[in-house]
Amino acid sequence: MEAINNIESFNKNYMSDGRKEKKRTDILFLIIFITFNVGLFGCAIYTAIYADMGKILHGFDSFGNTCGKDNTKSNLPNIPGLSNFDATNREKVLYYDWMNPIDAVKLCVSVCPKIKVSQITAFEDYTDYCMYNITAKPTDEKYYSAQGPCPSLPIYPSNSIFNRCVPKASELVAFTSFLKSNSLKSFGERLLADVIGSYQSILILSGLAFLIGFVVIILLYILTPILVWAVTFLSVLSLLVASGFLWWQYAIMTGRIPSTDSPYIDTDKNVILGFAIVATIATIILLIIIIAIRKQLLLVVALFKETSYFIRSKPSIMIQPLLTAIVLIITCLIYAVFLIAIRTAATPTLKSLGKLNIINYTLSNSFYVIWYIVLFATIWWIEFILSCQQMIIGSVVAAWYFQRDKSKVYISIFGEIKNIFVYYIGSIALGSLVILIVTIPRFILSYIKETCTAAKNPVAQFLLKCCICCLWCLEKFIRFLNKSAYVIIAIESIHFCGAARKAFQIITSNVIRVAALNMVGAFVIFLGKLSVVALSVTVSVAWFQKFGIDFNSINSDTNNLQLENYWVPLLIVSLFAYVIGHCIFTVYDTAIDAMLLCFCEDCNMNDGSPEKPYYMRTQLMEAVNLHNDTTSAQKYQSIETQ
Q: pLDDT-derived band of residue 373, with 50, 70 and 90 as boundaries?
A: very high
> What does the pLDDT read at residue 50?
84
187-196, 591-600, 610-619: lowest mean pLDDT where? 187-196
Return the exposure string of 39-59: e unless at least 16 CB atoms fall within 10 Å of the residue's CB, then b: ebeebbeebeeebbebbbebb
Per-residue pLDDT tens digits for 462-503: 888 888 889 999 999 999 899 989 989 988 888 999 999 998
> What does the pLDDT read at residue 12?
43
Kindly state the average pLDDT of the residues 317-324: 82
**pLDDT at residue 333 is higher than 50:** yes
User: What separation in angstroms does the CA of 162 have from each of 55, 125, 359?
Assistant: 11, 28, 22
> What does the pLDDT read at residue 409?
60
List all residues 6 or more positions away from 588 whose beta carbon is below 8 Å from its beta carbon. Answer: 217, 220, 307, 311, 525, 528
Kindly state the average pLDDT of the residues 280-297: 80
Cβ contact 247:563 at 8 Å:
no
**pLDDT at residue 557 is higher than 70:** no
Instruction: Please state, in angstroms and rounded to a whole number, the distance separating the CA atoms of residues 274 and 2.
Output: 67
Cβ contact 217:584 at 8 Å:
yes
75: left (phi over 0), alpha (psi -120 to 50) or beta: left
Mean pLDDT (the chain, rounded): 75
Stated pTM of the model: 0.71
> What does the pLDDT read at residue 38?
95
> What does the pLDDT read at residue 79?
79
| Cβ neighbourhood burial of 523 (10 Å; 0-12, 13-18, 19+) | middle
Of all residues in the chain, what percent carry a pLDDT higher than 90? Answer: 10
> What does the pLDDT read at residue 430?
94
Question: Residue 107 belongs to what H/E stretch?
Answer: strand 106-109
Q: How many CA atoms lie within 13 A of 412 on its CB side?
A: 6
CB atoms within 10 A of CB 612: 19
Instruction: Please state, in angstroms and rounded to a whole number, the distance separating the CA atoms of residues 169 and 114.
Output: 13
Transcribe 578-628 into DSSP letters: HHHHHHHHHHHHHHHHHHHHHHHHHHHH--SSSSS---S-HHHHHHTT---
38-47, 105-114, 173-182, 299-308: lowest mean pLDDT where? 173-182
Of all residues in the chain, what percent carry a pLDDT higher than 70? Answer: 76
**pLDDT at residue 639 is higher than 70:** no
Per-residue pLDDT tens digits for 438-453: 888 888 888 887 776 6
Instruction: List strands edge to edge, sheet with 158-161.
Output: 106-109, 92-95, 164-167, 158-161
**pLDDT at residue 564 is higher than 70:** no
Say which amino acid occupies 16: S
DSSP state of 454: G
User: What separation in angstroms does the CA of 338 have from each of 51, 362, 379?
Assistant: 10, 16, 14
Instruction: Please state, in angstroms and rounded to a whole number, the distance separating the CA atoms of residues 70 and 97.
Output: 25
> What does the pLDDT read at residue 616?
80
> What does the pLDDT read at residue 305?
81
Question: For residue 94, which of 21, 163, 23 has the smallest C-alpha distance?
Answer: 163
Q: pLDDT-derived band of residue 195, with 50, 70 and 90 as boundaries?
A: low
DSSP state of 531: H
**pLDDT at residue 569 is higher than 80:** no
Angle subtended at Cα 575 by Cα 387 and Cα 537, rounded to the nearest 5 degrees:
130
**pLDDT at residue 216 is higher than 60:** yes
Q: How would you classify the pairing of strands 158-161 and 164-167?
A: antiparallel
Return the exposure string of 390-412: e unless at least 16 CB atoms fall within 10 Å of the residue's CB, then b: bbbbbbbbbbbbbbbebeebebe
> What does the pLDDT read at residue 435?
92
**pLDDT at residue 136 is higher than 90:** no
**Domain map (residue ranges) of the chain:** 57-171
**pLDDT at residue 407 is higher than 50:** yes
Q: How many CA atoms lie within 13 A of 486 on its CB side?
A: 32
Strand partners, 20: 14
Instruction: Please state, in angstroms and rounded to a whole number, the distance separating the CA atoms of residues 635 and 642.
Output: 19
> What does the pLDDT read at residue 567?
62
**pLDDT at residue 186 is higher than 50:** no
| Range among 284-288, 342-346, 390-394 rated most confident | 390-394
**pLDDT at residue 310 is higher than 80:** yes
Kindly state the average pLDDT of the residues 335-347: 83
**pLDDT at residue 264 is higher than 50:** no
